[in-house]
Amino acid sequence: MSRQRPQVLGPVVDEQTRCIHYRTPLDVIAIKFVCCGEFYPCHLCHGEAADHVAEQWPVNRRAERAVLCGVCACQLTISSYLGLGSCPECAAEFNPGCKLHLELYFQI
């Protein structure tokens, strides 16, 4: 199934949303930032490209689709992403190290 891939802003280095900051084989997600509604590969990309300070997704909005799988363009809810280690559509594995800085994107 072919999906419409949203634009991912910032210094993206490939079609699977890797960026200049995070570009391992497992760095294949982009996050829609709640402050602007735009997808960026990481908090550093947002900090460099956006003209505002990043905000965290509130806990009560975890049902929103805010995580993009760069492999298949599936948009996951925040709750789904937080509970998974891979994409439910294409099985692409996500970087487990991302869980070390979830607070940069989501209220914990």
Handedness of CA 96, 108, 62, 44 (dihedral sign): negative
pLDDT value of residue 2: 65
Per-residue CA distances from 32 to 2, 38, 42, 108 (Å): 20, 5, 10, 17
| pLDDT for the residue numbered 3 | 81
CB atoms within 10 A of CB 99: 10
pTM equals 0.95
Could you list the beta-strand ranges (E) of 2-95: 29-32, 39-40, 65-69, 75-77
Which residue type is seen at 72? C
Chain centroid, CA 12 distance in Å: 12
Return the beta strands (E) in 5-61 as ranges.
Answer: 29-32, 39-40
What pLDDT was estimated at residue 1?
55
Strand partners, 39: 8, 32
Q: Domain locations in the chain?
A: 29-104
pLDDT average per 10 residues of sequence, the chain (108 residues)? 86 95 96 98 97 98 98 98 97 95 96
